[in-house]
Structure 1
């Protein structure tokens, strides 16, 4: 359980909001895959449509060629007979026009292949197609040949290959252009539906993301889809079990603290009575050593119990406290009970206070450890400043030689006391760090004091209110 709490308190909290188009989010993946699939299906549909359209266009063009050629056969025969009745004249086939001016062109040829008549846009040279009834795919396009019953006159009709190709391309573009509009509209509609459907998932995710060491309250059972209700029940059950475990650990630690203090206090009292009886006896020196050891043991036990309470999560609570009130009580206690009460200087900015989540007792332990460290390890002839800022942060300053960054990191470790000869257990900063983490606050250590050449500053910085 302790390891679980450590991981929870030290791990950075994920942001509560992410873009719906984030590729690692559920909504982002749905949007990506749906967009790709819809676009691919539309493109496949357009491709099949273009193939079918090309075949249909081919049938239409072939039918037009065949119908035109068969209709021109009797007309060409009548025209040729009329020319014979009028007598010799200039060959109509000698009249040429620029090729390519028309899409549908024809030629009338005799059985030897000579061009007798041709359309205005057709070239004078014979088409590259045999004199055989039916379709033929030539270099310049598809040609249909029709003939008279006796096979002496042939009519060949062709449609521009470029025009046929342009018709297929333009038809395909006509199918593709609506897709360019339909796909974005479909994507927007799908995005709206996905966001609406996944809104309960986002609500539940945000509610779970707010749960940490300082907020173990059950998640409110809002209207959720059937698939998400088991998740909500499981999370609430886990939170309830975690609250029970933390409460049991706190109760055990409190009882242990009471049971340990009583025998030590009794042993110290008996030793002090023994000293009063021995007075100047040679064994009095040993009794004083026992008294000193018991006093050190009392302080060490107190620190270890505070550390145990911090490990049990006494700062994890759903209650709140006023920072200014707790600071005032702790400073007053030091000024009344400490031999160095004159060294403590308490100041505050106007309206310098705030309400924070956590246990007031836990915050008082933090302040006591930091002020005690400042009194023990600071220069005896310099004051210890306790300042409450307008933002509600607390700064504790004391005079001391300048410390390096490595020293500032080292003193945070358990039983690390830095470069000092003053008595102590080296647990004060470790206890403060642990408890502040449970209250969504942090401890900033600085040396020298900003704006000074030396000194040491410990600042309690609270996270922004959510």
Structure 2
């Protein structure tokens, strides 16, 4: 069985949203049509039934006084012509009823129900209602009649005429058939037209898909926006923006790899040269211990440079890895700074550099960062490493942590007493493999690029200025020290959470 991809068809989605309301409205339309058809069918028959009731009421109201010996039923009996009119309908059965002033049956069908008790009695006002007579549903027209010669009296007689609903139901069905049957032809036609319209409307998307699929994998040029619908233009512009960023990223990676390969050539070539030199000395029998030791030292130095370059490249890749950088937690900046300073103390002593830390005690630090501890440690290490590289013997390097008393910012500063960086080069030093001219420092040129990348990952502000103000025409001091460089990184911080037992 094929695995389900979970993908949805845009064509089917639009078709569903267009046809679902249509299919939902259709039964509602049938129900409304049936109700309207009932009203239309009942109107003429109600008019005819009301005329019958009114005619019967006039006859009852004008009936002569009751002679001696005659019953009330004979007095209010219908004339033969009126009785024939009521019984003339072959489709429906017609009933009538006459009730006296005291509600007694004077004539007609005794089974015909009387109006509800709360019905308002207005003489000669015609009313209609639906009732059940046994198993049949009937329509009743009734009115209250005031007999002649009793003007001003509140007593009335009830006259009712009822009719079964056969003719009405047949006319209602005819109306419904006349309205609904054409819809059985119109509805499939409408579905077909909607299908064709959607197929034609979605054709530009298929054309766009064909153009994208026909591209070479290396073609990252923008998609032409002139031949696409306006509704798809924002999507295409977003794809073009992605292609532009992807092209820039690939170009940067190619440039980075080319620079990295070029930078690795130097230590690797040194390793090969020293190894070949040592081998030639041995082959010629001139393998003096001092010469071999010097060659081995050069080999160790070249391998150390190569290892440092590889570590820096891995650090750069780690800093640029979005998924790796997303694994964040609570970070104590003061603790990372003090640990880094302790790690570099032996190197600082070898170069006779005063390396120190200024800031809060790690255990008493009141602020923490939400970040990646390994990357922030790498940022501090690269700043300290850069300061030690460029600071001459007898100089100073200070790592400083400054915490905002309002609990919003935690600032890291690494400053040295070296030659400093001119303003014209301060933007360039953060580029990969860039090294300031006029220095004999043996570095990879990646340290500050890694610092900038990690700062951007943590949305921190990175700035560079002089440790001491630089005066025009200032000459280096006798000990070789200069205005120095101060790197400042401002992290967003928040109050430290108390430890829970």
User: Which gives a bigger RCO, structure 1 or 2 (Cα 8 Å, sep 6+)?
Assistant: 1
Using the size of structure 2 for normalisation, the TM-score is: 0.38
Using the size of structure 1 for normalisation, the TM-score is: 0.40
- Select the structure of larger CA radius of gyration: 2
